[in-house]
Amino acid sequence: MSVVIGFLFMAAVYLMLSKSLIRIIIGTGLLSHGAHLLLLTMGGLGGISPPVVADGVSVSDYADPLPQALILTAIVISFAVTSFFLVLAYRSYQELGTDNMDLLRGTEDHE
């Protein structure tokens, strides 16, 4: 699991360092996936019983439900932000005519 998370973070950083806006957006998506998986892993994996207190079920039998609730929240938020980012990218491509970050520097020569 840690290897997958590390790979996701690595791929995200690589994509976010590129010039094309759409690659950057995919990179941010991967970055938040990595963070969510990290949250899941840190809560502790393992256990097959449903997290309901019953006879004969001890705490070690089920996975911690709290990180799953947290991830759900985080996924919804990152979904909203990613869709906003995509719309913003499309709109700025229409207005500014480019998706190359080099041309979006905003110094005095590029208005």
Partner 1 sequence: MSNLLLFPIIIPLFFATVLMIFPKRLKLQRFLAATGAAATLIAALVLLAKVNAEGVQAVTLGSWPAPFGISMVSDPLSALLVVTTSIITLFVVFYSFPTIGVKREQSFYYPAVLFLMVGVNGAFTTGDIFNLFVFVEVLLMASYTLIVHGGEKPQLRESIKYLLVNIISSALFVAAVAFLYSVTGTLNMADLAVKIPQIEETGILTVIAVMFLVVFGFKAAIFPLYFWLPGSYYSPPVPILALFGALLTKVGVYAIMRTYTLFFTMNITFTHELLGIIAILTILAGCVGALAYFDVKKIIIYNIIIAVGVILFGIAQLNQPGVDGSIFYLLHDMLIKAALFFLVGIVAVLFGTTDLRKMGGLIKTYPFLGWTYLVAAFGLAGIPPLSGFPGKLLIVQGGFEGPQFWGSIVILATSLIVLLSAVRIFIYAFWGEPVETVPLKKSVFNQMFIPTVILVAITVVFGVGAELFMPFISGAGEVLLNPSIYIDAVLKE
Residues 17-56 vs partner 1: string with x where CB under 8 A?
----x--x---x--xx-xxx-xx-xxxx------------
Query: Smallest gap, in angstroms, from Cβ of residue 61 to partner 1?
Result: 17
Q: How many residues lie near partner 1 (CB under 8 A)?
A: 35
Query: Smallest gap, in angstroms, from Cβ of residue 27 to partner 1?
Result: 9
CA distances from 12 to 4, 9, 15, 23, 100 (A): 12, 5, 5, 9, 18
DSSP secondary structure letters along 66-86: HHHHHHHHHHHHHHHHHHHHH
The answer to whether residue 96 forms part of the interface with partner 1 (CB under 8 A) is yes
What span, in angstroms and rounded, lies between the C-alpha atoms of 15 and 21?
Answer: 10
Cβ atoms of 41 and 3 closer than 8 Å:
no
Tallying the residues shown for the chain, one arrives at: 111
Interface ranges with partner 1 (CB under 8 A): 16, 21, 24, 28, 31-32, 34-36, 38-39, 41-44, 66-67, 70, 73-74, 77-78, 80-81, 84-85, 88-89, 91-92, 95-96, 104, 106, 111
